[in-house]
Structure 1
């Protein structure tokens, strides 16, 4: 018994345009687009987390030393990567959808106008 693939949703509604685009883009390109979208969200979150911790002074075992800033920047980078991998705040989903739609559009154009 063959199972029917689920229709992707965009903003709570079925998204046939995205479903069609996914059929035109290879699984390898989809995986690369997903990784790119996740990396983009991680960069955005890193920027947000960095802004949130800018005014904090060192506390705890590191105190207020020159190394605290370096440690904090590495920590916020790892936090942002972890948040993005866990689903983030939803930015990567929209970026992924946009990348796939662009690639499918480009694939459709190259089939219509081979040069």
Structure 2
């Protein structure tokens, strides 16, 4: 059986720092998507029964959740991005 080799994640000529920065950004984006789904389950952005904004508020609630989740992930979130980053770089010799 052959030994499995990691697939390079960076294009040829990219420095390890550039690759690490790109992977970290992707991990943060993935955490933000996860947090957005969790906020949706928690009904964040759900219109209030009284003084609600109508159908417009319902349609734009996802934008509010996405903005919240992106800011949360940028500030460290729940630590999921760091775990994802370490998993992505495990076989790449970065960390």
Q: TM-score range by the shorter chain?
A: 0.7 to 0.9
Give unmatched runs, 5+ long, in structure 2.
Answer: 1-14
Match in the other structure for 1:45: 35
Q: Deviations over 1:36-85 (max 9, x none)?
A: 1100100000000011117x443575x15111112211100000000000
Which structure has greater helix proportion?
1
Runs of 4+ in 1 over 3 A off after TM superposition: none
Number of residue equivalences: 80
Give unmatched runs, 5+ long, in structure 1.
Answer: 1-24, 106-115
Match in the other structure for 1:73: 62
- Higher Cα Rg, which structure: 1
Question: Structure 1 pair 27/58, CA: closer, same or farther in 2 (3 Å)?
Answer: same
Q: What TM-score do the two structures reach when normalised by structure 2?
A: 0.72
RMSD (Å), alpha carbons? 2.5
